[in-house]
């Protein structure tokens, strides 16, 4: 683990702070908006490039993890979101809907990066991505109705675009990079010249995306500080209870260390960018719902960065873990 990786929590939080300051000092919001998605796509390409088809296929041997992830994300989390909204945001229906949109949408981008940083099983994490994406969009109207708000509807084109941008395009580029690098220079050259630099690029790209995201939304955050402050308590409770529930479940199921990391990350990370887009499209006359989602990454990203340090398998535990799958995300590069 490099010294930069040890400082990732500080770097992510600093990137958010710098982004807010830049967005307030200069009118860069429109430009910053166009940086977020490209940085995120490049980041995912770098993460996907560390995997191969054999690693992803091992999800078949992780049925316990997959089942636990579905229960935690689509049964326990919606129930927790309802309790937190009703108990702490009862007088603010828009904030309750915003909280619900955030908490019931499992992440389909950030969690791959933090799973890789924490030496989790990125193959299984990637295999869970399309399942999480489809289920959250199908179940979202039901979840919104539970909090008394109008159901959110998402068109087929939105779903297709999300799948193409978040999964298909980065994955296709990563496969192309692996194939071209191996064909051009062989295994050793691919490892040294292509895959290692890509692995080192993940954290800088993450910081760039965070900085741009908060520069883009800085004025919205400042204009609604009073409303957004009400969300800090329920978000704080969630980001404590979610990883605790995932860790307890992983231990109960006797999952190996890298799968414990994957379960913790996919349970804790939320899909703030997609939830924000859905809020804007589904509730155009209720802007506070979208504004409520802006604060999500401000709390979530530093939490994930710190959590990646806390759940990262220790070397002696990784060596003792059962199964053939190593916990290093730069594994299985011999395809």
- Taking residue 191's Cβ as centre, other Cβ atoms within 10 Å add up to 16
- Determine the Cα angle at 182 with ends 176 and 183, to 5°: 85
Identify the pLDDT of residue 53: 67
What is the C-alpha separation between 90 and 83, in angstroms, rounded?
10
Say which residues have a Cβ less than 8 Å from residue 314's Cβ, sequence separation at least 6: none
Cα 54 to its chain centre, rounded Å, is 23
Which residues on adjacent β-strands are paired with residue 106? 270
Helix (H, G, I), strand (E, B) or coil at 270: strand
Residue 53: CA atoms inside 13 Å, Cβ hemisphere, count?
6
**Do residues 54 and 124 lie in contact, with contact meaning Cβ atoms separated by under 8 Å?**
no
Contact 38, 228 (CB under 8 A): no
| Contact in structure between 329 and 115 (CB atoms under 8 Å) | yes
pLDDT tens string, the chain, 335 residues long: the values are: 566 766 776 888 899 899 999 999 999 988 998 998 888 888 888 888 877 666 666 777 788 999 999 999 999 999 999 899 888 987 788 888 889 889 998 987 778 889 988 989 888 898 888 788 778 877 877 777 666 554 445 555 665 666 667 667 888 898 899 899 988 888 888 888 888 999 889 889 989 988 998 898 888 888 888 878 889 999 999 999 999 999 999 999 999 999 999 999 999 999 766 677 667 666 767 777 777 887 888 788 889 989 998 999 876 544 444 444 443 444 334 33
pLDDT of residue 133: 77
All domains of the chain, ordered by start, with CATH?
3-313 (1.20.1530.20)
Whole-structure pTM value: 0.75
**Would you say 269 and 102 are in contact if contact means Cβ atoms under 8 Å apart?**
no
Alpha-carbon distance of 20 to 22, in angstroms, equals 6
Burial degree of 63 (CB within 10 A; 0-12, 13-18, 19+): exposed
pLDDT, residue 185, reads 84
Quote the CA–CA distance of 152 and 145 in Å, as a whole number: 9
Candidates 133, 134, 151, 143; CA nearest to 79 is: 143
Cα→Cα distances 44→103, 163, 215, Å: 22, 13, 21
Under 8 Å between Cβ of 125 and 266: yes
């Amino acid at each position: 683990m490099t010294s930069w990786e040890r400082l990732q929590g500080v770097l992510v939080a600093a990137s958010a702070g710098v982004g807010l300051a830049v967005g307030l000092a200069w009118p860069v919001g429109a430009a910053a908006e166009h940086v977020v998605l490209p940085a995120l796509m490049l980041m995912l390409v770098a993460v996907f490039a560390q995997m191969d088809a054999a690693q992803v296929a091992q999800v078949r041997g992780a049925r316990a993890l997959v089942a636990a992830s579905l229960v935690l994300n689509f049964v326990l989390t919606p129930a927790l979101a309802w309790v937190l909204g009703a108990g702490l945001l009862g007088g603010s229906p828009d904030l309750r809907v915003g909280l619900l949109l955030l908490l019931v949408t499992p992440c389909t981008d950030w969690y791959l990066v933090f799973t890789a940083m924490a030496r989790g099983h990125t193959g299984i994490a990637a295999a869970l991505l399309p399942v999480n994406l489809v289920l959250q969009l199908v179940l979202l109207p039901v979840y919104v109705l539970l909090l008394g708000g109008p159901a959110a509807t998402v068109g087929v084109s939105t779903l297709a675009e999300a799948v193409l941008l978040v999964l298909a395009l980065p994955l296709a580029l990563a496969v192309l990079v692996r194939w071209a690098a191996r064909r051009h220079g062989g295994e050793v050259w691919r490892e040294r010249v292509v895959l290692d630099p890509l692995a080192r690029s993940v954290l800088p790209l993450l910081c760039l995306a965070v900085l741009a995201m908060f520069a883009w939304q800085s004025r919205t955050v400042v204009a609604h500080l009073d409303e957004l402050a009400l969300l800090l308590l329920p978000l704080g409770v969630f980001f404590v209870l979610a990883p605790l529930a995932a860790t307890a479940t992983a231990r109960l199921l006797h999952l190996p260390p890298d799968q414990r990391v994957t379960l913790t990350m996919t349970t804790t990370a939320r899909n703030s960018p997609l939830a924000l887009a859905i809020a804007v499209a589904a509730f155009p006359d209720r802007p506070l719902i979208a504004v409520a989602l802006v604060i999500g990454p401000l709390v979530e990203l530093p939490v994930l960065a710190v959590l990646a340090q806390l759940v990262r398998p220790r070397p002696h535990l990784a060596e003792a873990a059962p199964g053939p799958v190593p916990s290093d995300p730069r594994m299985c590069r011999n395809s």
